[in-house]
Amino acid sequence: MPLACGSLTVSAAALARSAPPPPAEVRSEVPGAQLLGSGRLTYYLFHVYDARLWAGPGFDAARFELSPLALELDYARGFDNTDIAERSIEEMRRSGTIPQEKAARWVEAMKQAFPNIAEGDRTTGVQIPGVATRYFVNGKFTGEIRDAEFTRLFFGIWLSARTSEPRLREALLAGAPKGS
C-alpha cells in the first residue's frame, strides 16, 4: 500500500543501539534476525503505518529475494483485506508483469492469508527465499502463499529499486551492509 513516505534515515549504529528485540514470530522464522531499518508511510498527511525490516546475517539488499527476512507493519489505520490485496498487486506490477489470471489467484490467496486490518494491528510478512511468504497478524500465523515469484514481487513492493516509495526503501535498508 505504499503511497507517500515520510521517513527519516538513521545511521546503522544508532539503529542498533535503539533497536527493540525482534517479535516472537521474527525470532522463530528468521534466526539471528537484526533490525536493518524502519520508516513511516504517509498518504498525503495521513499516517498509514510504521515499517521495520528484519534480516539475518549475510543480507544483500541488491539480492533481497535470496535472504530470509521479515517485514513488520504497525498500522495507524484500518483497511479491508481486499483493498490491501488489490493495492499489493498494483505495487507488485512495478517490478514485473503479472498476467491477469495469476493476479486474480494471488488476490484471492492474499485475502485468505490476512484478515481485515484494524487500527493498531501489527502484521509481519516473512520471506522464505524461493519458496513462500508467511503472514502473521498480531503475532498469530494467518496464512502462507507458496510461490517464489509471488514472494519476490511482494517483498519488492518495499525493497525493489522500482518501489513507488524510494525514501521508505532507503529507511528500511539503513542498516544493511554497504555495497547492498
Spell out the domains of the chain, with CATH numbers in brackets: 4-172 (3.50.70.10)
Which pTM value belongs to this model? 0.88
Residues of 78-108 as b/e, b for ≥16 C-beta within 10 angstroms?
A: ebebeebbbebbebbeebeebeeeebeebbe
- pLDDT tens digits for 12-61? 445 555 678 999 999 999 999 999 999 999 988 899 999 999 999 899 99
168: closest CA among 56, 84, 36, 51? Answer: 51
